[in-house]
């Protein structure tokens, strides 16, 4: 029973470490590239329009 408790605690610690980014990139940060915003050529030319319903 004690071994099961230790295994569960280690698994929880591993999942927490992954979520905090201690073992690499955080899952939330995958696919994000903040450098692209600074490289945008003409950000004022972008216009947002509401979605058109058919």
Query: For the chain, which residues make up each domain, given as ranges?
Result: 1-25
> How many whole angstroms from its chain centre is CA 53?
31
| Residues of the chain scoring pLDDT < 50 | none
Instruction: Give residue 48's pLDDT.
Output: 84
How many angstroms separate the CA atoms of 7 and 5, rounded? 5
Instruction: Give residue 54's pLDDT.
Output: 72
Instruction: Give residue 29's pLDDT.
Output: 63
Instruction: Give residue 44's pLDDT.
Output: 80
Instruction: Give residue 27's pLDDT.
Output: 63
Retrieve residue 52's tokens: 């058109």
């Amino acid at each position: 029973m004690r071994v099961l408790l230790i295994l569960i605690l280690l698994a929880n610690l591993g999942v927490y470490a992954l979520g905090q980014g201690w073992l690499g990139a955080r899952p939330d940060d995958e696919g994000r590239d903040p450098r692209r915003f600074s490289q945008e050529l003409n950000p004022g030319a972008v216009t947002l329009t509401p979605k058109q319903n058919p």
